[in-house]
């Protein structure tokens, strides 16, 4: 039931951000690659992220898209709510949400992570360390603003 509430909350935030004024909201297309420590598999993502500023250096947003897991090959949908702090050209963010993995015994998985990286005018590049039920994960993120 907890995962269902997280899914509803994630979708509600994404919907609210979709109706935000364009001047205030931002969107980015992202690519990600992760290594899951146990059972030692890879995971790749293509995501769309939307965000709305809360304060000068603080924003709230959502990230969702498609993912591919290896060994055995499965597809899924990552959904996260994120809180980002910007410090000049650097960022620190926290993410949490349900990730749906199709063709898996436990299709709904909790994801939580902390990301940090570099912001430039044309892209952001960062690292993310987190947890995807039932294992730890580490990955890289590359995003391009729309």
What string of pLDDT tens digits covers the 146 residues of the chain? 566 676 666 666 665 555 555 557 899 999 999 999 988 999 999 999 999 999 999 999 999 999 999 988 999 999 999 999 999 999 999 999 999 999 888 899 999 999 999 999 899 999 999 999 999 999 999 999 99
Nearest to 41 by CA among 97, 95, 104, 94: 104
How far is Cα 122 from Cα 133, in angstroms, rounded to an integer? Answer: 33
Token couple for 50: 């939307």
Phi, psi (degrees; rounded to nearest 5) at 56:
-55, -45
Domain residues for the domain of 67 are 2-145
Whole-structure pTM over 0.75, yes or no?
A: yes
DSSP state of 14: H
Q: The domain that contains 80 carries what CATH number? A: 2.40.160.20
How far is Cα 141 from Cα 91, in angstroms, rounded to an integer? Answer: 12
- Give how many domains the chain has, as a whole number: 1
């Amino acid at each position: 039931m907890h995962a269902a509430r997280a899914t509803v909350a994630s979708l509600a935030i994404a919907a609210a951000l979709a109706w935000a004024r364009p001047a205030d909201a931002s969107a980015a297309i992202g690519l990600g690659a992760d290594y899951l420590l146990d059972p030692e598999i890879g995971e790749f993502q293509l995501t769309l992220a939307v965000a709305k500023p809360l304060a000068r250096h603080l924003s709230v947003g959502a990230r969702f898209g498609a993912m591919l897991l290896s060994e055995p090959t499965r597809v899924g949908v990552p959904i996260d709510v994120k809180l980002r702090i910007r410090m000049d050209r650097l960022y620190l963010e926290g993410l949490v949400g349900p990730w749906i993995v199709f063709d898996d015994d436990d299709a709904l998985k909790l994801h939580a992570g902390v990301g940090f990286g570099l912001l430039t005018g044309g892209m952001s590049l960062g690292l993310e360390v987190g947890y995807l039920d039932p294992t730890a994960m580490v990955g890289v993120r590359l995003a391009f603003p729309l």
